[in-house]
Amino acid sequence: MSTTTSTEPARGAEVTFALKDNGTATGTVTSAYTAGGKLRVSIRAGGTRYTRTASTVTVTRPAPPETEQPAPRSFGQTPGQPAPNAGKKYPAEPLTPAEFQSLLDQCSRRAPTGIRNRALLTLLYRSGLRISEILALHPKDVNLDKHSIRLLRTKSGEPQTRGFHAGADDALMRWLDKRSALGFRDGPLFCTLDDGPVSGDYVRGLLRRLAARAGVEKRVHPHGLRHTFACELEQSGLTVTEISKLLGHSSVAITALYLNHMTSHQAIEALQSVDLPPLS
Which residues does the annotation mark as catalytic?
A: 130, 155, 223, 226, 249, 258
- Output DSSP code: residue 106: T
The answer to whether the CB of 245 falls within 8 A of the CB of 238 is: no
Backbone dihedral region of 61: left (phi > 0), alpha (psi from -120 to 50 degrees) or beta?
Answer: beta
Instruction: Please tell me the distance from the alpha carbon of residue 264 to that of residue 270, in angstroms, as a whole number.
Output: 10
Q: Which of 245, 214, 216 is nearest to 230 (CA)?
A: 245
Burial of residue 261 (CB within 10 Å: 0-12, 13-18, 19+) is middle
Complete DSSP assignment for 42-83 = EEEETTEEEEEEES-EEEEEPPPPGGGSPPPGGGSPPTTS--
Q: What is the amino acid identity at position 274?
A: V
Please give the radius of gyration of the chain, using alpha carbons only, rounded to the nearest integer: 22
DSSP 3-state of 103:
helix
- Please state, in angstroms and rounded to a whole number, the distance separating the CA atoms of residues 157 and 173: 29
Concatenating the DSSP letter of every residue in 124-185 gives HHHH---HHHHHT--GGGEETTTTEEEESS-TTSS-EEEE--GGGHHHHHHHHHHHHHTT--
